[in-house]
Chains A and B, each alone.
Chain A
Amino acid sequence: MSTVIITAVVITLVGAVVGVGLVYTGKKFHVDVDQREVDVRACLPGNNCGACGFAGCDAMAAAIVAGDAPTNGCPVGGQSVADKISDVMGVAAGAAEKRVAFVRCKGNCNVTKNQANYIGIQDCRSATLSGISITSCDFGCLGLGSCVNVCPEHAISVVDGVAVVNRDKCIGCGLCTKACPKGLIDLIPVNNYVAVQCSNKDRGPQVKKVCTAGCIGCMLCTKQCEFDAIHVVNNLAYIDYSKCTQCGKCAEKCPAKVITLPHVSAEV
């Protein structure tokens, strides 16, 4: 019987000493950490399996907050955990707006001329390397679909020889912007519907020769804009999205109808 008592007393004492020691060091050596890190850590399963490639859930949480790991990087937690973490990170990211891809060209078969019958590898990059100008406009969309092939969400399709982005499907990953050899695709704020749908930097008469829907650099839009948001640089209009209020006046006045409301044009 005495053994039991001694055991109980000793173990309790050891436990108490350890507990007090932990509390004391916890207070004494307290370090402030990013609250998001704590929140993200709370979302993770917490079994420190290391399947994400990091040393444990704490390391994973730190990496997510630092932006080194995707919010869905936990293979154990799956979608539900990814959603929770996205919530934490989304709130923390504040006003960071979702961006979607936008093709700055509307040179479809009706407005440009096909001047070469390209039968090589059906890929825009290959076609560009071949040195042949397939369409009359050197700046325009080739319509061979390099962007379509890289899009993980199948959000891009080629309609009448021009790539068109489905905004609802686009996740803003930016893979297409890198794939386009002409550099036609930009990421623009998802709620911004006013955009210049042309990339031709030639002078007006030259543009008119190759495409009836190109920006001729007439600067009417610049004069219309009350917010100093649209400017013509190198014979091409650019919109400053930090100033644009999407009033649409520039689009109304544009003689070539090249400034569009993409949510409308996507349906065309």
Chain B
Amino acid sequence: MKSLILIMISGALINNVVLNQFLGICSFLGVSKQMKASASLGVAVIFVLTIASAVASILYDLVLAPLGLDFMKTIVFILVIAALVQIVEMFLKKTSPAVYKALGIFLPLITTNCAVLGVALTNVQNGYNFIECVLSGFGTAVGYTIAIVLLAGIRSRIQETDLPEPLRGAPIVMISAALMSIAFMGFSGLSF
């Protein structure tokens, strides 16, 4: 039990997917303009990452590992995750338009997010079993949500400040993200 909690906390804070492993930077910088949009994206990432980790884990344990096709895992994961998200998107669009409206537009956006693939691969590398994979995926996605919502909050503050001309736009966002990353380094000293 303790190890399961540890996996989640480590995924969310200590090995934060954006600020510590530098995965999923694209959407992290791109969609953090508004607090609402970034929160929606965060929820969508949680949704996709949890499902993708589960499916990738099943696929690896039942198909790839027994056949000795470990080296093909990257390609298979890309294929399966992309298709999975598409199916989930279509399913949501038809069955619950409300949920689709809230996060559906972010689903195709994160299909190709390297964070999703990265977590699936890391899980396999760490030799996690099914439950550990799901929890790790969930924890990592929560970490992503924390990071992007925090950055969106910072950016909304930055917008109201009088910045020197050269820093406006992308540069100050990069600097903010870098400072956040340094702050999150502090979690690496966390011990249980």
Q: Which residues of A contact B (CB under 8 A)?
A: 3, 6-7, 10-11, 14-15, 18-19, 21-22, 25-26, 28-31, 48-51, 53-56, 58-59, 62
Please give, as numbers and ranges, the residues of chain A lying within 8 Å of B76 by CB-CB distance.
11, 14
A10-B94 contact, Cβ under 8 Å, with A48-B109, A55-B109: no
Contact B87 A49 (CB under 8 A): no
Taking A10-B63, A55-B41 as known contacts, 9 extra A-B pairs with beta carbons closer than 8 A to each other, sorted by chain A number, are: A6-B69, A14-B63, A18-B80, A26-B90, A28-B94, A29-B94, A49-B30, A50-B27, A55-B31
Q: Mark B47-88, 1 if CB is under 8 A from A, else 0.
A: 000000000000100011001110010011001100100110
Please give, as numbers and ranges, the residues of chain B lying within 8 Å of A26 by CB-CB distance.
90
Which residue of B64, B83, B93 is within 8 Å of A31 (Cβ)?
B93
Contact A29 B93 (CB under 8 A): yes
Contact A50 B83 (CB under 8 A): no
Contact B79 A55 (CB under 8 A): no
Please give, as numbers and ranges, the residues of chain B lying within 8 Å of A10 by CB-CB distance.
63-64, 67, 69, 72
Q: Which residue, of B69, B72, B105, has the highest number of chain A Cβ atoms within 10 A? A: B105
> In the complex, how many angstroms separate the beta carbon of B128 from the nearest chain A beta carbon?
21
Contact B87 A22 (CB under 8 A): yes
Complexed CA–CA distance, A53 and B38 (Å): 11
Contact A6 B109 (CB under 8 A): no
Which residue of A11, A22, A55 is within 8 Å of B75 (Cβ)?
A11
Q: List 21 A-B contacts (CB under 8 A).
A: A6-B68, A10-B63, A10-B64, A10-B72, A11-B76, A18-B79, A29-B93, A31-B93, A50-B30, A50-B31, A50-B33, A50-B109, A53-B37, A54-B37, A55-B31, A55-B41, A55-B106, A55-B109, A56-B106, A56-B109, A59-B105
> In the complex, how many angstroms separate the beta carbon of B111 from the nearest chain A beta carbon?
10
Q: Mark B7-44, 1 if CB is under 8 A from A, else 0.
A: 00000000000000000000100110110010011000
> In the complex, how many angstroms separate the beta carbon of B153 from the nearest chain A beta carbon?
16
Which residue of A3, A25, A50, A59 is within 8 Å of B68 (Cβ)?
A3
Please give, as numbers and ranges, the residues of chain B lying within 8 Å of A14 by CB-CB distance.
59, 63, 76, 79-80
Contact A22 B108 (CB under 8 A): no
Please give, as numbers and ranges, the residues of chain A lying within 8 Å of B105 by CB-CB distance.
54-56, 58-59, 62
Complexed CA–CA distance, A21 and B83 (Å): 8
Contact B33 A7 (CB under 8 A): no
Please give, as numbers and ranges, the residues of chain B lying within 8 Å of A62 by CB-CB distance.
105
A25-B91 contact, Cβ under 8 Å, with A6-B69, A10-B63, A50-B30: yes
